Amino acid sequence: MSVAIENFVKAIYNNNIQDHHDTKPGNIAKKLGISNAAATDMAKKLASKDLLKYEKYQALQLTEAGTKMALNVVRKHRLWEAFLFKLFDMSLHEIHREAELLEHETSDFLANKISAYLGNPKFDPHGDPIPNENGEITTEDHSISLSNAEEGKSYIISRLMSDDKEFFDFCALNGLKYGNAIVVTKQFSKNKMTQITINTNTILLNEDFTNIIYVNEA
Amino acid sequence: MSVAIENFVKAIYNNNIQDHHDTKPGNIAKKLGISNAAATDMAKKLASKDLLKYEKYQALQLTEAGTKMALNVVRKHRLWEAFLFKLFDMSLHEIHREAELLEHETSDFLANKISAYLGNPKFDPHGDPIPNENGEITTEDHSISLSNAEEGKSYIISRLMSDDKEFFDFCALNGLKYGNAIVVTKQFSKNKMTQITINTNTILLNEDFTNIIYVNEA
DNA sequence: AATTAAATTTAAGTATACTTAAATATTTTT
DNA sequence: AAAAATATTTAAGTATACTTAAATTTAATT
């Protein structure tokens, strides 16, 4: 299957499973930087290959085969991120950028070698779970977004769900890192802002950030 | 530049520099598994991009820009081979197969990381020189093919120039490995066969093999 | 040197993955 | 509920990288 197809099913997977958006061609088009028309065309094509269900004007839904393909690509992406992060001195943004390319040219054979070398890790450096060889995510995720965290409680950062350089730069600058401890000192629910404390520093985060930073209770 | 273009200039480079063949579209077509017509089309296209010189019915010649592109791809290929060989338990054939895909999706940035991690090696596991960041091969190569080796002399294997699984299987089985010592016990020049001794074993090699096994005097 | 064989080139056509522009349907707003 | 805004789809067209078949040129053989 082509890079275009792999990226298409991956985008649907991420949109559906991760972002819980409603997955119409337009959303995918925006994510992939292609026209809506191209996304509709591709959706029809993939429906004919039984990778997704397509009905005019309705949301796209991956079939079992489509989900499996998406998870296979996601697995390779996250394994590369974990591998590059461990071996080289690369930032979260850099590992994402490289993984985005390598994921499509990685055989299952090589992916398994990388996984074994790393001791079959369950999470990548963003805290995202790494599917196993069969495309299964066995780790249960009880983490919640910072926007839903409770005032006064302590948490451990479990996921940084983004691919934006500026966000990662901000995180690096402020010690927002997978595994680090924070305290939610105030929830400004009306303004959708969250105040947290990390290493004696107090930071006020807006909705854009609290929606993509996930945490577990400490 | 596309994968097709990168593979095209790489094929010319290997044919020209390594195999010393006369590089007409047909040779390249055979290497790449495409039709002669496709190779002619591509040659014209790359000429318009100043990557090579094309004149009807004449041999193709890479320009400086074309050579640089080829060496950049070759660098990434050989770095991946060295890297995968060192880190994972993979055969010469397997590292070649994976490098063939990864080479096109590897940024210069990542190539430099891999190179630095390995201590900027000068050779890959086949004994092929790894071009530096500027596309230069600075190591002088005085090695000769086994077909030109002298009877009675001792040699060290310096290059195994192939991408054929069967050849590598044969090499692995018989201890023919980069860096290993051999003795040329007999040259059957009429039949273009060479007899060598390696680890007390005596092997008779035909022309196909003696042309792609390179050695240095011990 | 003429004939034959082989390689190269041209021409016409295909699949993939896009594009823009126009038509149509859906959603949102009033 | 109608109008306006937004999204989706259809239609037509493009670039890339191929294909096969026929024409042409070069190289090899006799």
At residue B16 the predicted structure's pLDDT band, cuts being 50, 70 and 90, is: confident
Average pLDDT of every residue of chain B: 93
Asked if residues B210 and B184 have their Cβ atoms less than 8 Å apart, the reply is no
E strands within A1-56? 52-53
A98 and chain B: CB distance < 8 Å anywhere?
yes
Residue-level pLDDT at B30: 93
Average pLDDT of every residue of chain A: 93
Is there a contact between A117 and B90 if contact means CB atoms under 8 Å apart?
no
**What does the DSSP 8-state code read for residue A197?**
E
Whether the pLDDT of residue B17 is over 80: the answer is no
Distance B178 CA to C3 C1' (A): 50
Domain B3-62 shares a fold with domain B144-217: no
B118 and chain A: CB distance < 8 Å anywhere?
no
> Where is average pLDDT lowest: A20-29, A38-47, B140-149?
A20-29
Q: Tell me what percent of the residues of chain B surpass a pLDDT of 90.
A: 84
Residue-level pLDDT at A151: 94
Mean pLDDT of A87-109: 96
Distance B42 CA to C12 C1' (A): 17
Find the helix packing angle between A64-87 and A92-102, rounded to 10°.
Answer: 130
State which CATH number among 2.70.70.10, 1.10.230.10, 2.60.120.260, 1.10.10.10 fits the domain covering A3-62.
Answer: 1.10.10.10
Whether the pLDDT of residue B18 is over 70: the answer is no
**How would you classify the pairing of strands A181-188 and A154-160?**
antiparallel
Residue-level pLDDT at A163: 86
Q: Which fold has domain B144-217?
A: SH3 type barrels. (2.30.30)
Q: Which of residues 107-126 of A touch strand C (CB under 7 A)?
A: none
What dihedral angle (degrees, nearest 10) is formed by the CA atoms of A54, A60, A64, A65? Answer: 70
Residue-level pLDDT at A16: 84
Q: How many residues comprise chain A?
A: 218
Q: Is the dihedral of CA B90, B91, B94, B95 positive or negative?
A: positive
CA distance A131 to chain B (A): 21
Contact flag, residue B36 CB and nucleic strand C, below 7 A = yes
Whether the pLDDT of residue B170 is over 80: the answer is yes
Number of H helices, E strands in chain B: 8, 8
Q: How many residues comprise chain B?
A: 218
Q: In what order do the strands lie in the sheet with B201-206?
A: B144-145, B213-217, B154-160, B181-188, B193-198, B201-206
Residue-level pLDDT at A18: 67
> To which H or E segment does residue A61 belong?
strand A61-62
**What does the DSSP 8-state code read for residue A14?**
I
Separation between Cα atoms, residue A26 and residue A31, nearest integer Å: 9
Separation between Cα atoms, residue B204 and residue B195, nearest integer Å: 4
> To which H or E segment does residue B81 belong?
helix B64-87
What is the separation of C-alpha A138 from the centre of its chain, rounded to a whole number of angstroms?
A: 16
Residue-level pLDDT at A190: 83
Whether the pLDDT of residue B41 is over 70: the answer is yes
pLDDT tens digits for A182-210? 999 999 988 889 999 999 999 999 988 99
Q: Tell me what percent of the residues of chain B surpass a pLDDT of 70.
A: 98
Is there a contact between B105 and A102 if contact means CB atoms under 8 Å apart?
yes
Domain ranges of chain A: 3-62, 144-217
B107 and chain A: CB distance < 8 Å anywhere?
yes
CA distance A145 to chain B (A): 33
Residue-level pLDDT at A20: 65
Asked if residues B129 and B141 have their Cβ atoms less than 8 Å apart, the reply is yes
CA distance A101 to chain B (A): 6
At residue B116 the predicted structure's pLDDT band, cuts being 50, 70 and 90, is: very high
pLDDT tens digits for A122-131? 999 999 999 9
Separation between Cα atoms, residue A17 and residue B213, nearest integer Å: 53
Mean pLDDT of B51-70: 94
